[in-house]
Structure 1
Amino acid sequence: MPLIVMSLALVAGCSTSEPPRPAGDSPVVRSIAPPFDGSAQIPTTSASTGGTGPGAVVSTSILEDNTELQDVDAKAIRMVFRSTEGTGGKPTEVSGLVAIPPGVAPEGGWPVIAFGHGTTGVLDKCAPSQFDTLVGNGSMIASMIQSGFAVAMPDYQGLGVPGYRHPFLDGATFGNNMIDAVRAAHNLDPAIGTRWAAFGHSLGGLAAWGAADRAGAYGQGLDLTGTLAMAPPADMSGLADAAQNGTLTADQRVALIFALQTLSWSNPGFDLDRYRTPSLAQKWDLLLDCTANLNEVLKAREAVTNADLKPDTPADTTRLRDLLEALAVPKNKITGPMLLMYGTKDTLVDYRWTDAAVKRACAQGDVIDIDKRMGQGHSDLESARGLPWIKDRIDGHTADNTCPGRT
């Protein structure tokens, strides 16, 4: 069945030859053997797995059938690694992918890009690394491989490993997951270095920003050189007032459905029925599904109206706003410079919400190159400068700071 993919906004499906792993299955551990001639070799000693700290590798298996990564002769390894919840510091396990360029690593090891993928859903079965297609992320990862980077892509907590809940829009947890994916990549193959950059679009943009936000307190032992965040839902607390006022866009309604579900998991006593109509509650499971019939799911989501998602009382609106604010970035001064790209026609992340988050970040002294694209939206945000910008950061070049009043 297809996995329904969105860059937060659900717009496309991506078929796969590998069915989703049923909830409750344990991660499969297979021998670490290169699937492609000439690809990077992974040590088969026990030193590449084990341990209890963040970034320790729990299990591995080979991704063999992704065409884009085969074309660039990358070694692709599914992994489960240890990480930490952003709130409360609870130890977790997270699945993800490591992709390694062929050939001999440069001095200091392969530089790493922690790649934040866009939203695929909030259920365990929605993990991108569990699908051979990587739900459309393979071509971008292949481009990074060709540019001389190893790539570490976490699925994010709650996607791919049973027993954990996905904390949608949680910048701190996603940031920890990105950092620990880089640690896990280095633990898996010492030819992968500790110099890294964070990159992501949409939900991945939040994960990238979250990684920079968390790196100072959580990223010890790694050298974060820069962060590229594209169209990040940095602070989506505006969803609460938009729901109250009946001004949600279609994209925002889907995001709010996901947010409400995950908030109910993480906040005992949070009553979903105070934010949805009884008729919407009857379709809730279908609205959350990521592997059901694509047309059926999209039709159900398109039928949702603002009247279906109105908080019962102003107090309910306030609670929702407060809970979403708690997940937002910035919370801390970022490590390294950041290129922030977003558009003024984004129908998911209102550019004014991003403006406000940037203003807070600049006020605390963050180094940010603000690239605000007039007339561009969420999915059509042009990204040609992204990889060159990251390569400049890895090479140690100084980044521009266009925060107001700074040069």
Structure 2
Amino acid sequence: MKNESRGASAGARASIWRLLIVVAVACAVTALTPSAPASGGPADHTTRGTVISVEALEHGLVLTRASGGRVFEYTTTGADGRPATSLGSLYLPKGKAPAGGWPVLSYGHGTAGLSDDVVSYTGWAGDGNTGDAYLSRWLDAGFAVAATEYVGIGTPGVHPYLNTRSEGAAMIDVVRAARSLDHRLSNVWVANGYSQGGHATLAAAALATEYAPELVLAGASAGGVPAGVADELAMVRPDVAVNPAPDLTVYTAYVLAGFRAARPDHPMDSYLSGRGRNLLDSAERLGYHDMLAEVGRTAPAQMVRRPLAEGTLLDAVRRHLGVPTRGYSSPVQIYQQSLDVVSPAPFSALLAQQMRANGVRVTYRMYHSPQGHAGWDGPLTDVIAFARAAVARAE
């Protein structure tokens, strides 16, 4: 992904890896309790995915391999189950649509930030042509691309980062909205994303049958899934001041700020130091690179005045961002980098185990890029092959 790649030193990575394995094993008994699919909320499905406004994208923002691009605002479901809006973009392959229409890729971008300034229309704002190259591969494979920006990024409110319900709904409703804009799009779709996008992909896949029965989800492919966030937060306490990677502080700030946006009723301030409160406020307005500069050498421990594992916080966080382990009616592919210290392998492996125990058709693939979490594009050939085979079975 775009900017989720700065790693620790080799020694720090090894230490984090050993610790995370212990944590994952220790959490296995409670984690194997199946989580339910996220509820889509009470909004009528005939109103979700309604296009509010649409305009053509400037030429310089259109993907190289697309015949054109449009950006639109559409209705969806927020973190509280109430109606909300999101921005989305639509790109069509060049040439004539096949009989039955182009299958749709619902694409979930990775972490960029919480503010309106990170709107990108291709998922990787400010990162050269990496988003273009990634999504152009999908266009060349015959997929129309519908990409959500998620609730609160470019639309009212603070983005409730990693909220399962709103991410999943936004991924589904962008397909509905895109199909209303162009009749050449099929009702068959696939979901794909990496890191935050992987989280959103699984949220959408678990919700799809209940939330959008008129659409046919052929399959979902999720990479670098942040499956153990609450368990990682359980290690944040004021007496452990190690900060092997500034990314960890940035993610901690984004996760807590996103949770605060979704659950303003929770007494978050009782956990935070003055520095922590300042960083959560910064997280609402700064994109990833600016947050790295803002964080500097601040360790996650310096953000808190008592352990995050105390009290009711982590139970509430799990409800906010838990990855569903049941409810999937389509095949799922989870892919993981072995050296990833941002979304570590023990947690995604445990997730796949939970899903299989609940009867989900899940394939788990491990890759070995030295870039760790930044090796998001290496598996793309396998991911597209999985998607094309899933579409062939569904059509």
TM-superposed CA distance for 1:131, in Å, is: 9.4
Q: Distance in 2 between matches of 1:170 and 1:286?
A: 19
Aligned counterparts, 1:54-65, within 5 A = 54-65=48-59
Structure 1 match to 2:277: 281
Q: Which has the higher helix share?
A: 2
Q: Is the 8 A contact 2:112 2:125 kept in 1?
A: no
Question: Which of 221, 225, 232 is the matching residue for 2:218?
Answer: 225
- Which one-letter code corresponds to 1:77 in the other structure? R
- The normalised TM-score by structure 2 is 0.80
Q: Distance in 2 between matches of 1:345 and 1:330?
A: 24
Q: 1:133 to 1:169 in 2, by over 3 A?
A: closer
Q: Distance in 2 between matches of 1:9 and 1:271?
A: 32
Q: Distance in 1 between matches of 2:146 and 2:234?
A: 36
TM-superposed CA distance for 1:110, in Å, is: 0.7
Q: 1:117 to 1:173 in 2, by over 3 A?
A: same
TM-superposed CA distance for 1:338, in Å, is: 1.0
Structure 2 match to 1:268: 264
Q: Distance in 1 between matches of 2:311 and 2:350?
A: 19
Aligned counterparts, 1:35-46, within 5 A = none
Q: Aligned residue pairs: how many?
A: 349
Q: Larger relative CO (CA 8 A, sep 6+): 1 or 2?
A: 2
Q: 1:375 to 1:113 in 2, by over 3 A?
A: closer
Structure 1 match to 2:349: 355
Matched, 1:388 2:385: yes
Question: Which of 298, 306, 309 is the matching residue for 1:312?
Answer: 306
Per-residue Cα deviation, 1:364-388 (whole angstroms, up to 9, x for no partner)? 1000111123575211242131112
Structure 1 match to 2:193: 200
Q: Is the 8 A contact 1:214 1:332 kept in 2?
A: no
- The normalised TM-score by structure 1 is 0.78
- Which one-letter code corresponds to 2:84 in the other structure? T
Q: Distance in 1 between matches of 2:179 and 2:62?
A: 23
Q: Distance in 1 between matches of 2:122 and 2:350?
A: 36
Q: Distance in 1 between matches of 2:3 and 2:183?
A: 33
Q: 1:289 to 1:172 in 2, by over 3 A?
A: same
Matched, 1:329 2:323: yes
Q: 1:171 to 1:124 in 2, by over 3 A?
A: same
Aligned counterparts, 1:6-405, within 5 A = 6-8=2-4, 53-66=47-60, 69=63, 71-85=64-78, 87-129=79-121, 136-162=130-156, 164-244=157-237, 246=240, 250=245, 251-282=247-278, 284-290=280-286, 294=289, 297-310=291-304, 312-313=306-307, 317-326=310-319, 327-373=321-367, 377-381=372-376, 382-383=378-379, 384-396=381-393
TM-superposed CA distance for 1:240, in Å, is: 2.2
Q: Distance in 2 between matches of 1:394 and 1:101?
A: 16
Q: 1:66 to 1:157 in 2, by over 3 A?
A: same
Q: Distance in 2 between matches of 1:147 and 1:236?
A: 33
Q: Is the 8 A contact 2:122 2:147 kept in 1?
A: no
TM-superposed CA distance for 1:278, in Å, is: 1.6
Unaligned runs of 5+ in 2: 8-44
Greater Cα shift, 297-306 or 122-131: 122-131
Q: Secondary structure at the match of 1:361?
A: helix
Greater Cα shift, 146-155 or 366-375: 366-375
TM-superposed CA distance for 1:174, in Å, is: 0.8
Q: Is the 8 A contact 2:74 2:85 kept in 1?
A: yes
Q: Is the 8 A contact 1:113 1:197 kept in 2?
A: yes
Q: Distance in 1 between matches of 2:300 and 2:49?
A: 42
Q: Secondary structure at the match of 1:308?
A: helix
- Which one-letter code corresponds to 2:254 in the other structure? F
Identity %: 25
Per-residue Cα deviation, 1:102-124 (whole angstroms, up to 9, x for no partner)? 22211111111001100110123
Unaligned runs of 5+ in 1: 12-50, 399-407
- Which one-letter code corresponds to 1:83 in the other structure? T
